[in-house]
Structures are given as C-alpha cells and as structure tokens.
C-alpha cells in the first residue's frame, strides 16, 4: 500500500533528503530483500534450489543528475545516488505500467523526472510518496507519475504548476 499523497508542497519537500532533476540510469543490482539489518545493510534473499524465492523483488538504478535542488551532503561528497524501487523492470512489467489505471508504474532507464528521494538505511534512496515523489516535468504542466499522469495538485487546491514554477518554489523552500 502506498503512503497517502502529501497535503502540500512543504510536506512533500520535507520528506525528501535529496531533490534532483535527473534521468533513471542503468540497472545496478536486482534481487529480493527482506529489509535491513541493525547496521542498516540490505538483507538479500536468494532462492534455494527447489524452493520459492522469498522476499520483496527490488531493482537499484543509478541516477544521472542534471540539476540539484536539495542535497543531504551525498551529492556534494561525490557519492552516487542509487534509486531502489520495488519490482523488476521486465518487458511484461513495462507493458503493464502503460495502463492508465496503474497505481505506481515501475521506473525504467531513460525516464526523466523531478525526483524527491528519501534515504534508506543502507544509503540508497526511494520514493516516500510513491508517484508524487517522481514527477514528470517534460511538458507544460508537472504531472504525477502514476498511470493516469494527472497534473500535480495538493489537497484543497486546484492550483497546477509548470515545471519552472515548481522548481522555483522548491528552491525557495529549501533556501529557508
């Protein structure tokens, strides 16, 4: 189940450790995991012969950063930004992701977004608000990256944003 959408821009920005405009890069790692250990390391789950694989499928992607709006120090330190998503980007999953009813389509290499990323215990990053943390900015209006690709709006407001307006508002908020 996804986290409910953010009520306002402040809530969206506050949950993000890193905010960048960037492109999803190549797959770095795929597997199955069972959470994180006490030291914050990913607990990998492999299958044993003749037994089903246990754990949650995941894929780690590199992010090609175009523009930094908020940095937790990782980017300035030269560390790569690794995006961890649930699932594996197979052709079948990509096809299902084009369905307008899809709640949260999987990311794929080449996707360009405004990414509002929250740090995982092992230093990788994920989407706290699901498709509201991965915004489509390659059009006249900013859109949520769910299947319907609806314009980004916050609760009790009909205001929509152009990419430039949203980026400017985030930069002002981060500078405070």
- Confidence (pTM): 0.87
Does some domain include residue 82?
A: yes
Does some domain include residue 17?
A: yes
Does some domain include residue 168?
A: yes
**pLDDT tens-digit profile of 123-169?**
999 999 999 999 999 999 999 998 889 999 999 899 999 999 999 99
Cα 21 from chain centre: 11
**pLDDT tens-digit profile of 57-112?**
899 999 999 999 999 999 999 999 999 998 877 655 555 455 555 566 778 899 99
Residue 126's contacts (CB-CB under 8 Å, 6 or more residues apart) are 83, 84, 85, 117, 118, 120
Does some domain include residue 1?
A: no
For the chain, the domain total comes to 1
Q: What is the mean pLDDT of residues 14-43?
A: 94
Alpha-carbon distance of 88 to 15, in angstroms, equals 25
Does some domain include residue 67?
A: yes
Alpha-carbon distance of 74 to 64, in angstroms, equals 14
Residue 52 confidence (pLDDT): 63
Write out the residue range of the structural domain in which residue 142 sits.
Answer: 9-175
């Amino acid at each position: 189940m996804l986290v409910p959408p953010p009520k306002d821009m402040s809530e969206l920005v506050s949950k993000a450790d890193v905010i960048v405009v960037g492109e999803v890069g190549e797959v770095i790692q795929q597997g199955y995991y069972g959470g994180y250990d006490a030291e914050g390391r990913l607990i990998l789950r492999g299958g044993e012969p003749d037994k089903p694989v246990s754990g949650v499928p995941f894929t780690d992607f590199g992010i090609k950063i175009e523009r930094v709006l908020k940095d937790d120090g990782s980017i300035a330190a030269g560390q790569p930004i690794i995006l961890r998503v649930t699932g594996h980007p197979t052709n079948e999953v990509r096809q299902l992701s084009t369905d307008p009813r899809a709640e949260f389509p999987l990311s794929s290499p080449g996707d360009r977004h405004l990414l509002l990323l929250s740090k995982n215990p092992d230093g990788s990053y994920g989407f706290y608000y699901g498709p509201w943390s991965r915004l489509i900015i390659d059009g006249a209006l900013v859109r949520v990256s769910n299947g319907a690709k609806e314009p980004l709006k916050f609760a009790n407001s009909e205001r929509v944003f152009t990419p430039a307006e949203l980026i400017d508002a985030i930069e002002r908020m981060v500078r405070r």
